[in-house]
Structure formats: structure tokens, C-alpha cells
Amino acid sequence: MAKVSVIIPVLNGAEYIRECMDSIVGQTISDIEIIPVDAGSTDGTLEILKEYAKKDARIKLLTADKKSMGYQYNVGIAAAEGEYVGFCESDDYISETMYEKLARIAEKEDLDYIRSDFDMFIDKDERIFLNYHILAGNRNALYGKIIKPTDYPDILYRDVNMWNGIYKREFIERHAIKLNETSGAAFQDTGFVMQTFLAAKRAMYVHVDANKYRRDNIGSSVYNLKGVVNVVQEAEYSEEYLSSLKVTDGNVCAVIFKRFCSIFFGFYGKLPEKGQFTEDIERAVNKFKKLAEMVYPRLPYYSESFEGIGNSLSLNILFKDLDAFDALRKQIEEIERDCRHRFYQHIVGYPRAVIFGAGEVGTSLYALLRKNDYEGVACFSDNDAAKWGKYLMGKEVIAPDRLDDLNDGKTVFIIAMTSNIETVREQLIAMNVGRENICKAIAIIPHNAMEVDIR
């Protein structure tokens, strides 16, 4: 029996499939089973996979008669013989040590699953990588510890991918965990993550060099605005699963609902202006309203997981008046676009920039600026001495007292953090940085940093 079975759903992925397969074939753990599942590719992908299968006996090439990522994954899971099961999307690739490191920890600690941080990337003149931390803030201390995930339901809001980990096959089979087999390839893994999260008694999150997640494949289904239909289908699938398990924990339900609201509104907000309100989308929107109306009253308003659902997503407006919601959304988006553009125009007025804040906000900002062709970032700076001398995305993190040489009036100092902003502003002013050379970073999350155009 192989230690790890890796399942790769494929449909017309010829442009990226060789890099993906090379990264799996080249894993440092040799005891591996590789299961590509092709759903009827017509661009030469299947022929490429057959080439690999002829050269490597570890490859078990399967075909699927349904164009559904969820169905393809389920076919692969059913055929897998490894002790653990892993997943990889065909336009991504993985670090050569990922499965060896994860399998070693999972076996030693007898884990139901283990998931790792990962890198998102886009191809510019060179690849730009941005690391995504699953555990943030007060949950950072849980890295490397065995946990029962439902003891920390808020983790599920950031733990949203299935391919950055491995799962004990016996655990998947015992709990009959399957993916939703809707058509296409958008968000079917959301339900899988939720099911494993709810079922696991022993899980772990780690910092391991793992997946490289492509964010610039415009052919990806997550960029298709009709993905709102998949979101609603997955929300219904998840609600049925929660009901079947009789899950009544309000905190868990609130996190799951908040997660689906975030995805839904991300699509919904783009639909009217692009004329995408087809009949199937209209039906999906109405389904989501009914689902939300059913779930919303059951949520604990006092929960931290509930915070932000009512106001930031304007649910009451959505339920009562779609036109009012659209008007509000357009007004907010116009203000946000204008703010992002003015921020960028301000930054490009300086030949050089220092990002003060070497955390998620700072690295996301750097990725955003690089994506938008600003090359002037000289370094990061931070008050945390543990970060000094380290490199983030190729830029050194330096101590604030080393910034004097950059304080020449031609450098903009960008405060990139969510707290202590005014304290840092006063700190920089005390270092004789001109007020006009200090600005606050715009709000950006890692998953959007490599997508948003602010020029």
C-alpha cells in the first residue's frame, strides 16, 4: 500500500499539466500513488498524461464520464489505495518535499488530517509568490498542535482549501466524506473542507513548503461569474449535511454561513453591471435568499463568528429590497475603486517605498503593488525584532533605526497593519519622516492581492 495517493482532476489543462505532474512525480517520498482523472480533455492533455503513465508505474490514469471536479475527485478517492489521500489542481504545482513532510507528521501524531500554509503566485517578468497563513491573530499559537477543529470554529473562515493537506483514507471512508458532484469546477471543495473539519478529532495545521496556487489562470472557473450558481449549490449541499448530522453549534453554523455569504456576495456584486443575470443565476440568487432566511435566525448574534454578517453583507437589505442593495453596492464599490486608484497614484509619485509592517497586510500590499507594476519597494520594516534580517518575497525586513538612509524625501513610508497605525505614524514622525511621506495602506486580502487592478 502506498503511503500517499495524490488525485488530480483534469479537463483541458495542457498549458499547465506538465509542471503539475513533474512536481508530483518528483516528490521526495517515492512511496506515492498518482491518480490523474481526466474528464474528456480535447486539447492534448490526455495524451500528455498517457506519456507520463508509460514512464512511471506509480501513475494510475483514470477517465471520468462527467465534467465535474467533485465527481472526478470522488472517482479518485474511490480508486485510491494509499494510507493518506492528497489532492492537486492541474494548474498548480507543489513543493517536492510536501508529501514526505506531511505524511511523517500525520503518521507520528495519528492525525485525521493535516493542512499547511501555501503560496499563491502569478507569472509576471518573474513569479511573484505570496504566502497564505491559515491561522492568523490569536490562532497563530495553534500551529503544530493537535486540535479538535470544532473547538475553534472561527478557523474555518480562513481554512478554505482541500489541496494543501493530506487526509487519512480510513477517516474519509469511515465518515463517508464526498464532494458535491455538480457540474464544473468551482467551490466543490468547500463542502469537503467543511466535512473534514466537522468530523476530525485529531487535526493539525503547520508551516510547510506546500502548494503553489496559481492566481492568474483566467480560464479558471472561479473567474466565471456564473460560479454564483456553484456557490449556492454548495451552500445547499452543506446545509443538508449539517442537518443530517444535526449540527446545532451556533458558532459553527455562523462561520459556515459567513463563509458562504462572503463567496456569494463576491460574485453577486459583479453580476448586474456585467449583464450576467441569466435565468439560472436568478434562480440561484433566490435560492440563496431562502437559504439565508432559514439559517439567519438560528445564528447567535453574540458570537464572534457572527460579527460583521448583519452589517457588512447588508443581509436585511438583500432580503427586503434587491434594488436598494444594488444601489448601495455600486456606491461602495465606486468609492473603493476611487480610493485604490488614488492610493496607487500617490505611491507611484515616489521612486521608492518602504512597507512598515511585515505581516499579512504588508506582504499582501507588496504583491498588489508588484501585480500593478510598481517596482519601487525597497524593503519591509517592523517593530518586531524577531523579523529583522529575514526576507519576505525577496525583500529584507529591517529595523526602524536603519531607515535613516531611506529618509531622503523621495521615499514613501506605507503603514501596513490593522492596529497601532497612529502609534507607528508618530514613531516615523519622531524619526523626522515628513508627514507628507507617510500614508496608510489600503485594505487588501491575500486572495485579492494578485487580482485587483488599481492603476
pLDDT in tens, 412-427: 999 999 889 999 999 9
What's the one-letter identity of residue 414? I
pLDDT in tens, 161-220: 999 999 999 999 999 999 988 887 777 888 899 999 999 999 999 999 999 999 886 555
Euclidean distance between CA atoms 362 and 448, whole angstroms:
14
Numbered ranges of CATH 3.90.550.10 in the chain: 4-217
Beta strands in 340-406 (DSSP E): 352-356, 377-381, 391-392, 395-398
Report the pLDDT value the prediction gives residue 268, as an integer from 0 to 100. Answer: 66
Q: Determine the Cα–Cα distance for residues 253 and 296; give it in Å rounded to an integer.
A: 9
**Quick one: CA torsion of 299, 237, 151, 418, rounded to 10 degrees?**
-70
Task: Compute the Cα dihedral for 212, 216, 217, 220 and give only its sign.
Answer: positive
Query: 45 pLDDT exceeds 60?
Result: yes
Q: Tell me how far apart the alpha carbons of residues 315 and 292 are, in angstroms, rounded to a whole number.
A: 8
**Given this model, what pLDDT does residue 312 score?**
45
The fourth-level CATH superfamily of domain 335-449 is NAD(P)-binding Rossmann-like Domain (3.40.50.720)
Domain with CATH 3.40.50.720 in the chain: 335-449
Of the candidate CATH numbers 3.40.640.10, 3.90.550.10, 2.30.30.790, 3.30.30.10, the domain formed by 4-217 belongs to: 3.90.550.10
pTM of the full predicted structure? 0.87
Cα 59 to Cα 83: distance, rounded to the nearest angstrom:
16
**Residues 365-376: what's their mean pLDDT?**
95
Please give the pLDDT value at position 410. 94
- Per-residue pLDDT, averaged over 69-79, amounts to 96
